Amino acid sequence: MSTFQAPKGTYDLIPPHSATYLAVREAIAAPLRNSGYGYIETPGFENVELFARGVGESTDIVTKEMYAFETKGGDRLALRPEGTASVLRAALEANLHKAGNLPVKLWYSGSYYRYERPQKGRYRHFSQVGAEAIGAEDPALDAELIILADQSYRALGLRNFRILLNSLGDQECRPVYRAALQDFLRGLDLDEDTRRRVDINPLRVLDDKREAVQKQLAGAPLLRDYLCEACKAYHEQVRELLTAAGVAFEDDEKLVRGLDYYTRTTFEFVHDGLGSQSAVGGGGRYDGLSEMIGGPALPSVGWALGVDRTVLALEAEGITLDIPAATAVYAVPLGEEARRVLFRAVTELRRAGVATDFAYGGKGLKNAMKSANRSGARLALVAGERDLAEGVVQLKDLTSGEQTAVALDAVVDEARRALG
């Protein structure tokens, strides 16, 4: 037993389970790469102020969940709790918006950190794949991102997820709704923390999961009744484009998401097999975020999908991904000369693109063959002194048990043929 363990609320990804996570990331990224999105990677920590301004000072993420610290040089930094603010900061810093080709389409994959109460599906360190389209205000862009997320989930075989959709209005109509909501909320029996939230960002109160709060919200004014004509028309276009693409969604008037920067389109992917932590991903439009962090006006839209949550959704539906074995050929040398000869053959097979492993540590035949079977390899390459004297090695099919003598200089071709 090791003295050290992973910190509370975190996890290690180890084979073979880690292969599922890699396959999920790849499945989410594939439609993005096919739609003009380029890969971006940002630091694991940023200036605290980036998140305070971007994510919102009243959000739980900033007030309760962010890992913030001061460096020896006196800088105030935070481990990134989400991806959008970092990606937008990087795009602005690199002047990607000035290259003349808007929107700037970017996708990313990485680890994020929030100090939360650990439970199944909610960790302090978690993995996301995200996408951002920066610098264009177009309902087709909002629809595109929702369609791409839907496509990636369906490619994984998921079926029991739902897409919730709402509009949060813009700087014209949201202030009117905000005032009406504040008037309503101030008449409720709320605790001190929630009352403070009513003053700073009342929409966040709608997102409160506590039953005592939800019961009192029954008669709350609805944002849809306050949307201006431009926001109504924009939202209707998003809905029409999704419907035309055959992507089902549900209108959810209370959907606000947990970040302050959203405007107009907001959406969430939920899976009913995950219990209380049903959200597997989500996003929306954030037209004012660029200005909030000191950039020019760049209307943008994006999403992030949780890799951990997606894996749990696959488990809930009983889906096992078809992941090829890491090893196709396993070499078993018997004796020193065979070690030299087979190691050279292993190197040639790898150079030819055949996933190959080797019986290291001088194992005997029995143990080496056990290792070959455990590796998931389809073929074993076995050689002893007699084989080498005849200039051959034995190619053994580990499923059927059939064994064929193969000339040393034909190993690569014969292994490829046998693997199909």
The share of the chain scoring above pLDDT 90, in percent, equals 72
**What's the whole-number mean pLDDT along residues 242-246?**
98
Residue 315's SS3 state is: helix
Query: What domains are defined for the chain?
Result: 18-173+227-316 (3.30.930.10), 329-419 (3.40.50.800)
- For CA atoms 339, 342, 344, 350, the dihedral sign is negative
283 Cβ contact partners less than 8 Å away, ≥ 6 residues apart: 130, 145, 257, 266, 267, 301, 302, 303, 304
Give the Å distances, CA to CA, from 99 to 102, 246, 296, 301, 333.
Answer: 8, 34, 14, 19, 57
Predicted confidence (pLDDT) at residue 165 exceeds the cutoff of 90: yes
Which has the minimum average pLDDT: 97-111, 249-263, 320-334, 378-392? 249-263
Read off the DSSP letter of residue 63: I
The residues facing 112 across adjacent strands are: 126
**What's the whole-number mean pLDDT along residues 298-312?**
95
Q: Are 150 and 208 in contact (CB under 8 A)?
A: no
Read off the DSSP letter of residue 402: -
How far apart CA 161 and CA 200 sit, in angstroms, is 33
The pLDDT of residue 260 is 63
The share of the chain scoring above pLDDT 70, in percent, equals 97
The pLDDT of residue 70 is 94
Predicted confidence (pLDDT) at residue 248 exceeds the cutoff of 90: yes
Q: Are 90 and 42 in contact (CB under 8 A)?
A: yes
60 vs 35: which has the higher pLDDT = 35
pLDDT, tens only, 274-295? 877 789 999 999 998 999 899 9
The residues facing 45 across adjacent strands are: 79
Closest CA to 203 of 261, 276, 117: 261
Which has the minimum average pLDDT: 88-102, 104-118, 197-211, 284-298? 197-211
How far apart CA 419 and CA 398 sit, in angstroms, is 12
Nearest 10 degrees: Cα torsion 178, 140, 32, 280: 40
Report residue 248 as tokens: 């089902």
Count how many residues are written for the chain. Answer: 420
pTM beyond 0.75, yes or no: yes
Which has the minimum average pLDDT: 52-66, 79-93, 136-150, 298-312? 52-66
pLDDT, tens only, 179-220? 998 999 998 888 888 888 888 878 878 877 788 888 888 888
The mean of the pLDDT values for the chain is 91
At residue 20, φ and ψ (nearest 5 deg) are -65, -40
The pLDDT of residue 258 is 58
Predicted confidence (pLDDT) at residue 58 exceeds the cutoff of 80: no
The pLDDT of residue 73 is 93
Read off the DSSP letter of residue 65: I
Q: Are 130 and 305 in contact (CB under 8 A)?
A: yes
Q: Are 252 and 265 in contact (CB under 8 A)?
A: no
CA angle at 321 for the pair 319 and 322, rounded to the nearest 5° = 135
Closest CA to 65 of 124, 111, 110, 129: 124
